[in-house]
């Protein structure tokens, strides 16, 4: 319970400090720069995620194609089967 209290006090203190910093023009510039860097970081993470997602989708598509090729080569239609007379 004591840890939760410290956690809540830390969050409240952070909001108070951010509010006081935001009142000062230099603080606004600092917060704007921090926001810009956070946005840049999240954009890079999103780009890397989408690149990995595309790579994995390509691998899955290749695996499906290979599996389809194997299935097509293993199944022989009855019309092309040799006559067993």
Q: What is the pLDDT of residue 72?
A: 85
More confident residue, 83 or 69: 69
Q: What is the pLDDT of residues 13-59, one digit of tens each?
A: 999 998 898 898 998 999 899 999 999 999 999 999 999 999 999 99
Q: What is the pLDDT of residue 84?
A: 53
Residues 22/33, Cβ–Cβ less than 8 Å? no
Give the contacts of 29 (CB within 8 A, at least 6 positions apart): none
Q: Is the pLDDT of residue 79 over 60?
A: no
């Amino acid at each position: 319970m004591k840890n939760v209290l410290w956690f809540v006090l830390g969050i409240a203190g952070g909001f108070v400090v951010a509010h006081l910093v935001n009142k000062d023009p230099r603080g606004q510039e600092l917060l704007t720069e921090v926001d810009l860097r956070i946005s840049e970081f999240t954009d890079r993470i999103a780009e890397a995620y989408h690149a990995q997602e595309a790579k994995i989708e390509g691998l899955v598509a290749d695996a499906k194609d290979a599996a389809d090729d194997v299935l097509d080569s293993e199944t022989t239609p009855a019309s092309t089967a040799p006559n067993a007379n």
